[in-house]
Amino acid sequence: MLVHIFINGEKRKVHCQPDAMLLEVLRDAGCKSVKCGCDTTNCGLCTVWLDGKPVLSCSVPAARVNERHVTTLEGIQDEAEAFGKYLVGEGAEQCGFCSPGLIMNVVAMKKELDHPTDDEIRHYLEGNLCRCTGYMGQMRAIRQYVDEEVEA
Domain regions of the chain by residue span: 2-74, 76-151
- Which one is predicted more confidently, 42 or 150? 42
CATH number attached to the domain at 2-74: 3.10.20.30
- pTM, two decimals, is 0.91
pLDDT tens track for 62-96: 999 999 999 999 999 999 999 999 999 998 877 87
State in Å, rounded, how far the first CA of the chain is from the last one: 46
CATH number belonging to the domain at 76-151, selected among 3.40.50.2000, 1.10.150.120, 1.10.3720.10, 3.40.50.300: 1.10.150.120
Mean of the per-residue pLDDT values of the chain: 92
Distance CA(62)–CA(121), nearest Å, equals: 29
